[in-house]
Structure 1
Amino acid sequence: MVSFRVRGRVYRRLVCLMFACFVLTLNGCGSDSSSSTTSTADEGDRAKIAFVTNQIASFWNIAKVGAEDAGKDFDVDVDVRMPADATAVEQKRIVEDLISGGIDALAISPIDADNQIELLNNWAEKIPLVTHDSDAPESNRLMYIGMDNYTAGRMCGELIKKALPEGGEIMLTIGRLAQDNSKRRRQGVIDVLVGRDSMPESCDPTGDVIKAGKYTILDTLLDQGVSTVAKQKAEDAITTYPKIAAMVGLFAYNPPALLQAIKSQNRPDIKIIGFDEDEITLQGIKDGTVTGTVVQDPYSYGYKSVEVLKAILDGDNSVIPEGKFVDIPARAITKENVDEFWDDLKSKMGS
């Protein structure tokens, strides 16, 4: 498979070289145009790597910086695409346009892994493909780059217990559960509160109240990746369940939406526990309105994706781990370490 891809790059280079020779023939072998035609050939051989996300979010802006930094370090062209419409249909359109445009490799965060397997396998037949942030383990992707979402979910569950040591009613919020990372992240939270041992493959249904000792998980609100919907659903939940003690946002935009909801409903007593490193969430931790958040490392997702794909394009398959998983561990951020974390994040973003 890799040799096929390399042959594709060699073919493109030959086309560029033939074009360069044609220009030289027209202008004379000793003409000044030789430097520009050499540049054209070099540009034709420069690898083109696409980094496709699952939606537009501040989280992905950080990943974009990492991918573009790797592009500079490894001398490749990087094209970062974020679907404005967070659907598998829009993701398919974007990727097929990229492939038609001549990309050499693809890193993607699948929106609906179970129903995208055939598509992913089709793309993986054409170019090297890795998943990041959210995996599609049943597909033929070369590897998954990201954190263990179930473990991260359990870390979030521990933050909830810290916020509510005496227990209480809890509402979970997330974009959608079709993504592999969503299911595992949510299940990790539930299993910690229920007191279960590790059960990453299980999936408690939505719509049912889950009671576990002193904790009651009221439900999981789904917003399909739309922050305004997340805010509205949170406001409705606060009205419907006046005894809510904590609300948990499992996607990057969820905690800011929850903060808006508790403000509009005048419920500053509700504890907010978050996921990811949105600036509003981090400021909330500093201000005391957010208990804590579990952060990933989107910068490394972007950087590592480009790094390994460039190596694979160059014929180095040693970058593919035996387990096909590049673990970039999550961290829990609270008031104790938020300043250090935020300073490091700002330095990576150049601010």
Structure 2
Amino acid sequence: MTFTRSLAAFAAAGMLLGSSALISAHAQSKPTIVFVTNGASDFWKAAAAGVKKAQAELPDYKLELQYPDQATVASQNQLMDNLVSAGAKGIIVSAVDPKNSTAEFDKLAGETALFTTDSDAPQTKRIAYVGSSNILAGEQAADIAKKAMPKGGKCMGFVGLLGADNARERIQGFKQGLAGTGITLVDVRGDDMDMTRAKSNVSDILVANPAITCLVGFYSYNTPQIYAALKEGGELGKITVVGFDGDPVTLGGVKEGTIAGTVVQQPFVWAYEGMKMIASYLKGDKSAIPANGLDIIQTKIVSADNVDAYVAEQKALAQ
């Protein structure tokens, strides 16, 4: 898959490190802060760029982005345990399954400055969350669906990690946004961030439930897999597609009109602001920590009207 090859390229460039890599002895001379993802996905390229920008402004720190070998609680927890053992002073993590990570996160919070991003774990002792309001993002996705289907419809959702807070909250927000309309969310299928399964979930629905008129990709890679399945099945442009995030396939579909719109987040900003917030915290400056522990970074809708401007904006950030 292209996302695997691109991740390998980033690793070779030193922007992403495999989960087996530990902090080097040289890095121990500087406090190390690590951005830990929930799995391997092209979505995190923007976060890697944010880490890189923050590194240029924080020369007294060693900043890294790492991803677990698998998108599982066990793999993510093992990675963070290894990082703390190797001396990481701060971690910001997208929790794979916060409900089943409370004890581990609380343990880590006693050993390092623990922050969350993308998928929060508010019931733990994490210091703060830097990321989207996933409920609001879900409501924005509902706005896309309502505009595209004024006469109503039946939607099927697809997501990577059904137990993650970001998934649950996006689904909740989507349902809230559809309240009182003729549009319903019939069900949501999970794939555990397996690309083959993500695509087959869509293909299976197209065969099993022809009454579905709308497909929603709740994770960044779900919409491209929806696109691929629809194209192979000869259904592209016949079924409303609502997306999340700015994968190039998704943005291309928005531009050509086969995807109604997508709700984009700002992982570049999460990483950039998160790293700077943790660095300040480690110096004893807690002024950047919100009183409620939530640093919400705005999401927005990208449609055919503003997709070109969004693409240009993202290219500028990556430079």
TM above 0.5:
yes
Q: Equivalent residues in 2 for 1:241-260 (5 A)?
A: 241-260=209-228
CA offsets 1:62-89 (integer angstroms, 9 cap, x no match): 1111012101211121121112310010
Please point out which of 119, 123, 129 is paired with 1:134.
119
Is 1:281 paired with 2:230? Answer: no
Per the TM alignment, residue 100 of structure 1 is displaced from its structure 2 partner at its CA by 1.3
Give matches, 1:163-174, under 5 Å.
163-174=148-159
Instruction: State the match for 2:39 in structure 1.
Output: 55
CA apart distance, 1:228: 1.3
Are residue 319 (structure 1) and residue 288 (structure 2) matched?
Answer: yes
- The reply on whether 1:106 has 2:74 as its aligned counterpart is no
Gaps (5+ residues) in structure 1? 1-41, 196-212
Residue pairs, 1:141-290, within 5 angstroms: 141-195=126-180, 214-268=182-236, 269-290=238-259
Matches within 5 A, 1:42-121: 45-75=29-59, 76-121=61-106
Q: Which amino acid in the other structure matches residue 308 of structure 1? A: M
Structure 2: runs of 5 or more not aligned: 1-25
* Cα distance in structure 1, aligned partners of 2:102 and 2:51: 24
Which amino acid in the other structure matches residue 61 of structure 1? K
What percent identity do the matched residue pairs reach?
33
Larger Rg: 1
Aligned-partner residue type, residue 228 of structure 1: T
Q: Is the 8 A contact 2:34 2:63 kept in 1?
A: yes
C-alpha distance in 1 between matches for 2:147 and 2:178: 11
Q: Deviations over 1:76-123 (max 9, x none)?
A: 211211123100100011111111111111111110101101111111
Cα drift, residue 308 of structure 1:
0.5
TM-score with structure 2 length normalisation?
Answer: 0.89
**Alignment pair present for 1:297 and 2:281:** no
RMSD across aligned positions (CA):
1.5
Could you list the per-position Cα deviations for residues 155-201 of structure 1 after superposition, in whole angstroms to 9, with x for gaps in the alignment?
00110111111111211111122111110100111111123xxxxxx
Aligned residue for 2:278? 309
Q: Counterpart of 1:258 in structure 2: which amino acid?
A: I
TM-score, with structure 1 as normaliser:
0.81
Distance 2:264 2:216 in 1: 14
Query: Shift of residue 143 of structure 1?
Result: 0.4
Which residue type is aligned with residue 55 of structure 1? G
In structure 1, the partner of 2:109 is 124
AA aligned to 2:145 is I
Deviation of residue 44 (structure 1)?
A: 5.1
**Aligned counterpart for 1:328 among listed residues 272, 275, 297:** 297
Q: Give aligned pairs, total.
A: 293
Q: Report the Cα distance in structure 2 between the residues aligned to 1:300 and 1:243, rounded to whole angstroms.
A: 39
Poorly superposed stretches of 4+, deviation over 4 Å: 42-45
- With over 3 angstroms needed to count, the CA separation of the structure-2 counterparts of 1:44 and 1:119, relative to structure 1, is closer
